[in-house]
Structure 1
Amino acid sequence: MTIYRDSFPPSNVDLFLAYTGMETDLIFNQGVDLPGFASYPLMKSTEGRELLKGYLKDLIALGKEADAGVILESPTWVANRDRGAAIGYSPDDLKKLNQDAISLMAAVRSESDYSPTVISANIGPREDAYAPEAQMTSDQAERYHAEQISILAETDVDVISGYTLAYPSEAIGMIRSARRFRLPVVIAFTVETDGRLPTGESLAQAISEVDAATDGYAAYFMINCAHPEHFSSVLEGAPWMQRIKGIIANASRCSHAELDEAEELDDGNPTELGAQLADIRRRFPHIQVLGGCCGTDMRHMSQIATAARTA
């Protein structure tokens, strides 16, 4: 059963931890092959499911230790029609794997009996987030993402989280689709080393445009898949900043282009990353969600949690 669908985010929780660095950890640290950077195919084997459960359980354990809420992100970021087809998965395959992923997460949450533990259906862009070749209109994006969101709406998911988005109209389409299925939705934009979206918009422009087109329906916005030094200087005490409630940061200072070409993992400095995110939260106390993206593992998450609690 869903728990937070009608009350997201819970207002009585000051800190949530979220983790989206699993794929880089699996590829570089554990030698797991993930064609298309897709982790949802792990659902097909007992060994793969155990790997996924391990990440979920580790995050819940860290949440308990830090007295923080936990947002479990599903392994479905690239489980949409186009990106699934590119690695051999049909729409029927994708429906089953999307829904099975949420079922696994619901079982882990039930077994842990830890509250608050939120189940987030993680969905991503239609194309390469770092360099989209074509931008959809908001109507096109709504139709496209409705396929995956409609499938997820039949599960115990609490919230739809659109991660690593590069331009406003795709975010608008995602939000409209989530609203059609009466689901809360979070939008996470990625930025380049200059703090701007890959398509050139500033965070202020993108958030304002999306809110204006969707009546402010998104629960909140986040920044993900970028190092704090890429965007901390553009964060300011302006009204749009109040809409950013989460930072899910990369460990590496590398640009997106450099990360694409990397043959070895740059895991940065876990202690430094935790301190940087804690500093941003000190500057902007309304930020409620912190976590790690590319290059991070539970070392980074532990440092993030500790720094946030001792700031």
Structure 2
Amino acid sequence: MAVKEPFAEAARKRVLLFDGAMGTEIQKLGPKPEDFPDGKDGFNDGLILTRPEWIRQIHKSYLRAGADCIETNTFGSNKFKLDEYGYGDETVEFNKKAAQLARQAADEFENRYVIGSMGPSGFLPSSNDPDLGQKPLDEIREAFALQAEGLILGGADALLIETSQDILEVKLAIEASHAAMLKTGKKVPIIANVTLDQYGKMLLGTSVQAAYTTVSDMGIDFFGLNCSTGPAEMTPSVRWLGEQELPVLVMPNAGMPHNEGGKAVYKMGPGEIAERLSDFVKKYPNIRMIGGCCGTTPEHIAELRRVIDG
């Protein structure tokens, strides 16, 4: 297979398409408690160990739909989250396996990239919360450093710090990513994504402008938005980011969630989300990557592929 161009270089030349949601695709497979490691129901990341063929199948469904980039099934695989399931001591090896699984799927296609997914730690270091705000900062940094190390060793082409709700945690994850690169001797691009509510604020009140200004000079390669809202609610923030220097990733949910019988349901169809994101790409040349978050499926990604190619 021909050597693919580096991820950051590819993003400069063309708009790259990310995949869609992982969790909802797992739910479609109807997992039972016995499918998870040690019967720990809901340990979705653990399926890389017990049902790797499921995760490979989901990765490939997005690749077939036209995604240039697939995210590792490691959203909750920092050391703290893995500790909850008894796998904290295996954080590096666990993330390495997940990245290798995605790498195997991506390498069956031409010019595809593996993105190491790093979701929130489960703590809010900026807050005064007696439980969530008291974790020492160096412990949070180390929890992310171990995850980043595993993802890099497993062959990730970039690291994605995503669905971040506390800008101090984003800073710690960025520092951890740089430390992991130093340790492994391999440099990969860093994408720092924050999550905003429908009013354009992170959970603890940080605006998109403050978030971007805080981390943009920390050696990151891309800044982005994902989750929480649909594209309509992201529009003012995307407009502002469209005027900044760093290239941008935009990954909205399939609209705002609706509560139906205690479950979050996302109703925005492939055509509508593709139209919105196509509009963003046309208006703001520094949007170099788009994709989907909660509620988006291979059908959404196939439609995004069509509009990008068009």
Q: TM-score, normalised to structure 2's length? A: 0.82
Q: Percent identity?
A: 18
Distance 2:210 2:148 in 1: 26
Alignment of 1:68-107 (within 5 A): 70-86=68-84, 88-107=85-104
Aligned to 1:282: 282
User: What is the CA distance between 1:298 and its match in structure 2?
Assistant: 1.0
Aligned-partner residue type, residue 82 of structure 1: F
Q: CA deviation at 1:99?
A: 1.4
1:273 deviation in Å? 1.0
**Aligned position for 1:121:** 116
The alpha-carbon distance between structure 1 residues 238 and 126, as it changes in their structure 2 partners (threshold 3 A), is closer
**Unaligned segments of structure 1, at least 5 residues:** 64-68
Query: What is the CA-CA distance between 1:243 and the residue it aligns to?
Result: 2.3
Instruction: Provide the aligned length of Structure 1 versus Structure 2.
Output: 290
Q: Secondary structure at the match of 2:52?
A: helix
- RMSD between aligned alpha carbons? 2.9
> Which residue number in structure 2 is paired with residue 110 of structure 1?
107
**Are the aligned partners of 1:40 and 1:98 in contact in 2 as well (CA < 8 Å)?**
no
Q: 2:212 corresponds to which residue?
A: 207
The runs of at least 4 aligned residues of structure 1 exceeding 6 Å deviation read 3-6
Distance of 2:55 and 2:223 partners within structure 1: 26
Tell me how far 1:37 sits from its aligned partner.
Answer: 5.5
Please state whether the residue corresponding to 2:295 is helix, strand or coil. coil
Q: Closer, same or farther in 2 for the Cα pair 1:94/1:177, shift >3 Å?
A: closer
Q: Following TM superposition, by how much is the alpha carbon of 1:103 offset from its aligned partner in structure 2, in angstroms?
A: 1.4
Indicate the residue corresponding to 1:223 in structure 2: 225
Contact 1:18 1:290 survives alignment (8 Å): yes
Any stretches of 5+ residues in structure 2 without a counterpart? 182-186
Partner of 2:23 in structure 1? 23
Offset, 1:12: 5.5
Could you state the TM-score of these two structures normalised by the residue count of structure 1? 0.82
What is the one-letter code of the residue matched to 1:270? P
Whether the 8 Å contact between 1:248 and 1:292 is mirrored in structure 2 is yes
Q: Which residue of 1 aligns with 2:61?
A: 58
TM alignment of 1:1-311, pairs within 5 A = 8-11=8-11, 13-27=13-27, 29-32=28-31, 38-45=43-50, 48-63=51-66, 70-86=68-84, 88-112=85-109, 114-115=110-111, 117-127=112-122, 134-135=132-133, 139=138, 141-180=140-179, 181=181, 182-212=187-217, 214=218, 217-225=219-227, 226-236=229-239, 241-254=244-257, 262-263=262-263, 265-310=265-310
Partner SS state of residue 108, structure 2: helix
Cα 1:280–1:240 shift into 2, 3 Å: closer
Tell me which moved more, 91-100 or 165-174.
Answer: 91-100
